[in-house]
Amino acid sequence: MEQGIRIRTTILVWVFFLALSGLNAQSCLPEGIIFTTQSQIDSFQINYPNCTEIEGDMTIQGNNITNLNGLSVLTSIGGSVIIEFNDSLISLSGMGGLATIGEHLNIWWNSSLTSLSGLEGLISVGSGLVIHANPSLTSLSGLDGLTSIGGSLTLSFSSALTSLSGLESLTTIGGDLKIESNAALTNISGLESLTSLGGGLWIYVNEALESLAGLEGVTQIMGDLTITTGDALQSLSGLEGVIYIEGSLHMAGNHSLTSLSGLENVATIGGEVAIYVHDSITSLSGLESLTSIGGDLRIKHCDALTSLTGIDSIDATSITNLVIEGNTSLSTCDVQSICDYLASPNGTVEILDNNQGCDSPQEVEEACTVGVPEQESALQLSAYPNPFTTSTTIEYKLIEPSHVQLTIYNAIGEVVYRTEDRMMLKGIHTVTWSPSHLP
């Protein structure tokens, strides 16, 4: 009898334990919650027992909030997390159990926040991550477990931030990567695991940034590549893996940059190419692999630039409008892409206020034709059918870009047809001619 009681007692205890465990993980607060005082955070587990998953947004904003320990039971937030205007908060310690955020994580205007320690358990953010205007933040340590961001990553106006160390596990950014106005940022090491960038790359007004090392894993930029006002940036090394830019290339005001080396493998840019106001760029070397763009080509106010060598391979038909203006040392513009474009422009041409030789469209056109000898023997030419009665197709192959003008003579040596003298790309070309118009 005693043994049976023991068995029954054991069963009752086990059932009671299962009932308790079912209460341990509960979602709550579909309407979200806003914390404005330390006492609200301290009493969270009392006011919302067993609440580990907040379905809505969570906002933390209050000058007297000093710690987040009362939120240690939270494992996920279905909406956004907003941590803002907390002048007394120095870390995010207390949120170590948080693994996922369904929408945005915004951390901004926290004047005393020195690190993001406390977010070590965070693996993914469903939408964007914004870290903005935290003047005491020196590193991103605390985000070490973060592997994916569904939207954009914005790091801006954090004047004490010196590197991006802490993002070493991040492999995917679904939107843009924006790094803006971080006065002490000298490098962006910490992004070495990043391989997928679903939007553009925007790096602007980071006066101390010397290097882009850390971006070697990025092969495609699915938006604009914009790098502006980086006075200390000396090269684009770190972007060697990029082969495709879906948007435009915008470069402006990087006064220590001497070339575009680092972009050697970019073959296609889907938008315009705009290179403005660079004091030290002497050439466009680094763009040798670029064969196609999808908009304007604009090169303005680069006072040390002497030659356009480097953009020779761009297909002229992919250029919309051409602007070469205010480059006071630029005297060599007669590269293949520019000569081809001027021979058959697709839009407006503005070439002015450069050095002699590149100070007007006429000067460049003249340079494109000077010193190019006729190379009849360089043409591998055939005509078929030959002889013919109604028409013939002339096929020729160029081993390099050349000026080509075809002249057809009759049996007594008279010129009966002559094509326009045009710059042609290397490769195989065909011309079909019919004598039907002849008397």
Q: Mean pLDDT over residues 25-45, rounded?
A: 96
Per-residue pLDDT of 139-167, as tens digits, reads 999 999 999 999 999 999 999 999 999 99
DSSP state of 309: T
Average pLDDT, the chain: 89
Per-residue pLDDT of 67-126, as tens digits, reads 999 999 999 999 999 999 999 999 999 999 999 999 999 999 999 999 999 999 999 999
Q: Is it the case that residue 50 has pLDDT exceeding 80?
A: yes
Cβ atoms of 219 and 241 within 8 Å: the answer is: yes
Nearest to 135 by CA among 165, 156, 105: 156
Q: pLDDT higher for 195 or 414? A: 195
pLDDT band at 2; cut points 50, 70, 90 = very low
Nearest to 227 by CA among 254, 246, 197: 254
pLDDT at residue 401, rounded to an integer: 64
- SS3 for 203? strand
pLDDT at residue 418, rounded to an integer: 78
Domain boundaries, the chain: 379-433
Per-residue pLDDT of 349-407, as tens digits, reads 999 999 999 999 999 999 998 744 444 444 556 665 665 667 777 877 777 667 777 77
Q: Is it the case that residue 258 has pLDDT exceeding 60?
A: yes
Q: Is it the case that residue 219 has pLDDT exceeding 70?
A: yes
Question: How far is it, in rounded angstroms, from Cα 255 to Cα 245?
Answer: 23
Nearest to 322 by CA among 305, 302, 341: 341
Q: Mean pLDDT over residues 43-53, rounded?
A: 98
Question: How far is it, in rounded angstroms, from Cα 144 to Cα 131?
Answer: 15
pLDDT at residue 22, rounded to an integer: 39
pLDDT at residue 385, rounded to an integer: 62
Q: Mean pLDDT over residues 188-215, rounded?
A: 97
Which amino acid is it at 398? L
Q: Mean pLDDT over residues 307-331, rounded?
A: 98
Q: pTM for this structure? A: 0.81
Question: How far is it, in rounded angstroms, from Cα 317 to Cα 315?
Answer: 5
pLDDT at residue 386, rounded to an integer: 62
Which amino acid is it at 330? L
Q: Is it the case that residue 188 has pLDDT exceeding 80?
A: yes
Question: How far is it, in rounded angstroms, from Cα 65 to Cα 288?
Answer: 55
pLDDT at residue 379, rounded to an integer: 55
